[in-house]
Chains A and B, each alone.
Chain A
Amino acid sequence: EAAVTQSPRNKVTVTGGNVTLSCRQTNSHNYMYWYRQDTGHGLRLIHYSYGAGNLQIGDVPDGYKATRTTQEDFFLLLELASPSQTSLYFCASSLGLGVNQDTQYFGPGTRLLVL
């Protein structure tokens, strides 16, 4: 089973603050994803990547940047945090998009509070 870790697990910042969420996967997966989870909305895709240096826009990208520095590491950046970005953030990874490769494995989540 894929191992996906996230840090920090909890973060509090103020409006306008700068936040970086980190994700690492250790199973040599090619695809990595950032989601946010809010009550009543399920999980919504922010950004994803299919390899180091690659970045693709998801469904709710406004206010977020992301960077994939290595195959293992994917970062989510909030440069001017706003209260609307208070949420539970999940990172996920998958091997690929082919049959039996596209199962996404999730990290434990980061709870972000923007005051």
Chain B
Amino acid sequence: QQKVQQSPESLTVSEGAMASLNCTFSDGTSNNFRWYRQHSAKGLEVLVSIFSDGEKEEGRFTAHLNRANLHVSLHIREPQPSDSAVYLCAVSMKGNYKYVFGAGTRLKVIA
């Protein structure tokens, strides 16, 4: 059964510094990866989707996927206090309804 683990559990960065979040998964046949952001007491907002090894950029958010290492990461360029939230990694197979979520990384951006 797919296991998805995120690290670190929490991260504090200064405004403008790069923030890097990690996600490891156990099923090497997974091919559909998404990063979501969850502000307190609100729903999840999809940030970036990536389906093949390499990187995918959406504005200030860049995902890096290395399926051989069972690893996908999210890098946030020039983070702002409004980026303070919980970031969730979701892993699935293309054409499959089933997402497996990590427990999240709580990011705090200080001015």
Partner of A4, one of B43, B46, B95, B100: B43
B79-111 near A? 1/0 per residue, CB < 8 Å: 000000000101010111111111110000000
B100 contacts across to A, CB distance below 8 A: 42
Q: Closest approach, in angstroms, between the C-beta of A22 and any C-beta of chain B?
A: 15
Given contacts A42-B88, A103-B49, contact A90 B44 (CB under 8 A): yes
Interface size class on chain A is 20 to 34
Question: Residue A16 at the B interface, CB < 8 A?
Answer: no
A41/B97 in contact, CB under 8 A: no
Partner of A43, one of B45, B88, B95: B88
B46/A105 in contact, CB under 8 A: yes
Q: Closest approach, in angstroms, between the C-beta of A37 and any C-beta of chain B?
A: 8
CB-CB contacts below 8 Å: A29-66 with B: 31, 33, 39-45, 48, 50, 56
Partner of B43, one of A31, A50, A97, A106: A106
B44/A106 in contact, CB under 8 A: yes
- Distance in angstroms between the alpha carbons of A31 and B84 in the assembled complex: 30
Closest chain B residue, CB of each to CB of A104: B99
Q: List 26 A-B contacts (CB under 8 A).
A: A4-B43, A31-B97, A33-B97, A39-B103, A40-B103, A42-B88, A42-B100, A42-B102, A44-B101, A50-B97, A56-B97, A97-B97, A99-B94, A99-B95, A102-B92, A102-B94, A103-B46, A104-B46, A104-B99, A106-B36, A106-B44, A106-B45, A108-B43, A109-B42, A109-B43, A111-B41
